[in-house]
Structure 1
Amino acid sequence: MTLPVDPDLRPVSVATADGSGAHYWVWGDPAATTTVVAVHGFRGDHHGLLPIVVGLDDARVVTPDLPGFGVSAAFDSGPHDVDAYAAWLTTFCRQLHRTGDRLVVVGHSFGSVIGAAAVAGGLCPDALVLMNPIAAPALAGPRAVLSTIALGYYRAGARLPESLGNALLTNPVIVRALSEVMAHTADPALRSWIHDQHRRYFSSFADRRVVVEAFEASVSHDIGEYAARISVPTLLIAGDRDDIVPVAAVQRLAGELTDSRLLVLADVGHLIHYERAEPAAAAINEFLARRLGGSTSGRP
């Protein structure tokens, strides 16, 4: 997998929103008149969306680490829930958005819920892209048992003495097991790279309170809660083998949105950003060119 630059590059900027410093990186064409803000999923950081970023044409792409994850500080006060993250994203986008430019929000998995909640709450991007969208409540759907077991795991990590709790939540054997379950590719090289990405970045959270609160938020909310208040053009990109969100739920969500397009990619699960980055990026480019008109850079 080819990434745009050294993945350990230091952030180019730090933005302060809602009392927390959020580190972010800027890629692509700095003069482009379309700014894409890409929001990663639960337990990840900005590295996870770099395979998508490298395929976006003629855009200025901003990839933050969510507060409490990667190198971004946790919120100073209050829980790390959907409302807090949505408020943070709204402020972040308004700080980064340049007058006259077009704004696009891209969210993967938990990031899709955050993006949807922000738009429903008043953020007005020109387009919204939701990859592996959380289209159904995890604690009430066909994966409810697995979600409940995972919730018990995170709560156990919070209740144990600090050293034991941290050891449980960052246990490399458990991280590898989760990676094995989520990866569907049969390509040994790609599979090995995915496992390495999870090993490197899946445990980079500020503390166990953050990761437990964020997990509870991720399984307690879904995009359907916000669908009626989302009117911007929306692209949904789903995997036909997604073990977390069934395709049928995403299809229902597409019907609930005012202006949506659904793309279902074959032979991929919840890791579209790793396993189908090129077709996903191509779909985003095509969608933005059609819906925003012309090139995403604003040039003819």
Structure 2
Amino acid sequence: MSFLSGDSLWLAALALVMLWWASRRVSRTFEKQYPALGRKVPVSGPAVLHVIDRAPDDPSAVPGLPIVVIHGASGNARDGEAALGARLGAKARILFFDRPGHGWSERPPGRSASAPDGQARMIVEALDQLDVGQAVIVGHSLGAAVACAVALIDKKRVAGLVVITPATHPWPGGGGVSWHNRIAALPVIGRVFSELFPPFLGALVMPLVLPSIFTPNPVPDRYELRSGAALALRPKAFRANALDVVGLKANVTRLSPQYCEITAPTLIVCGGADVIVSNALHAERLAGEIKGSRLVELAGIGHMPQWSAGDEVARLILEFTAVLPVPPVMPAQAPAPPP
């Protein structure tokens, strides 16, 4: 009996090793399929933030304010770039960030790396290194909480704030977090689960999950390929997303009382048919807390307006940005005369 037990343990161990090896192979396949499109910026932590930095499409146009786009849960910079890059980029510099731990960004250990304000500080530091002064900060869903944190942390930098279907406030009850995120966020079991299963389970489940995210709108053509959605199925990214999502309620409970201190002009865009986040709990509350903010509800649109109503969302952002004051470009300083 003891021999059989030992033999079974060896077989189980071998199966786990093979599953781990296969998970790594699939993850590397995803990385080859969706390579980094931008540059990597070292920040404190230590951490590295990946950003797709698009110059204006029309170099002869008078440059407007730079626009910084922050993705939501299970996303990456490709998602925003594919949805809004061409629509926003005629006159402005557009920067699409991978949040820490997502896409091609790396995050430091510790709870602060999962918190919206912790991520906001890293993004602010990266903007300094990229010589981005005043800018319009755009955040979608969970990324909207990060965008609001940027507006609180660095008020002078934020010329305007745009949040799209925001997840910014606490919600009643203990729901709102899927079982796989709860498991992946656990201290030890979560690491093992994230290393072994997401690349396989995600590939099977994603076609079933995407329609619920976009409902009542159809999933855009070739969305998975255009957005690089599979990058979220790699072990480290999957666990990072789980930690962000599981910790969100406590973090926005802590941050939301400060939203009334946001002074930047603010545009809030939400989908009138969003079933992922409640407009009454998030967008409408935020509109009531940020003085002078404007709330736009898009009828018949779900949680992904930047895809399902991309032209309208881009128009709203560009019109909002166009009336913001653009800081003057300082002339290059002449070299000092020789002594």
Q: TM-score range by the shorter chain?
A: 0.7 to 0.9
Q: Is 1:21–1:67's contact at 8 Å kept on the other side of the alignment?
A: yes
1:45 paired with 2:76, answer yes
Structure 1: gaps spanning 5 or more residues: 1-6
RMSD: 3.0
- 1:161–1:116 distance in 2 versus 1, CA, 3 Å: closer
Quote the Cα distance in structure 1 between the aligned partners of 2:92 and 2:234. 28
1:242 paired with 2:268, answer no
**What is the SS of the residue equivalent to 1:16?**
strand
Q: How many residues align?
A: 282
Q: Which residue number in structure 1 is paired with residue 18 of structure 2?
A: none
Q: Is 2:69–2:95's contact at 8 Å kept on the other side of the alignment?
A: yes
**What is the SS of the residue equivalent to 1:55?**
helix
Quote the Cα distance in structure 1 between the aligned partners of 2:311 and 2:154. 31
**What is the SS of the residue equivalent to 2:323?**
helix
1:86 paired with 2:124, answer no
- 1:230–1:97 distance in 2 versus 1, CA, 3 Å: farther
1:22 paired with 2:54, answer no
Quote the Cα distance in structure 2 between the aligned partners of 1:205 and 1:105. 29
Q: Which residue number in structure 1 is paired with residue 294 of structure 2?
A: 261
Structure with larger Rg: 2
Q: Is 2:272–2:298's contact at 8 Å kept on the other side of the alignment?
A: yes
Q: Which residue number in structure 2 is paired with residue 279 of structure 1?
A: 312
Q: Which has the higher contact order (CA 8 A, sep 6+)?
A: 1
TM-score (norm 2): 0.73
Q: Is 1:68–1:206's contact at 8 Å kept on the other side of the alignment?
A: yes
Quote the Cα distance in structure 1 between the aligned partners of 2:235 and 2:94. 23
**What is the SS of the residue equivalent to 2:277?**
coil
Counterpart amino acid of 2:182?
G
> How many percent identity over aligned positions?
20
Structure 2: gaps spanning 5 or more residues: 1-32, 330-339
Bigger share in helix: 2
Quote the Cα distance in structure 1 between the aligned partners of 2:191 and 2:125. 36
1:73 paired with 2:100, answer no
Counterpart amino acid of 1:17?
V
**What is the SS of the residue equivalent to 2:41?**
strand
Q: Which residue number in structure 2 is paired with residue 252 of structure 1?
A: 285
**Pairwise CA distance, 1:205:** 6.0
1:159 paired with 2:193, answer no
Q: Is 2:181–2:243's contact at 8 Å kept on the other side of the alignment?
A: no
1:173 paired with 2:212, answer no
Further displaced range: 196-205 or 30-39: 196-205
- 1:186–1:113 distance in 2 versus 1, CA, 3 Å: closer
**Pairwise CA distance, 1:226:** 3.0
Q: Which residue number in structure 1 is paired with residue 165 of structure 2?
A: 132
Q: Is 2:194–2:239's contact at 8 Å kept on the other side of the alignment?
A: no
**Pairwise CA distance, 1:182:** 0.8
Quote the Cα distance in structure 1 between the aligned partners of 2:139 and 2:176. 23
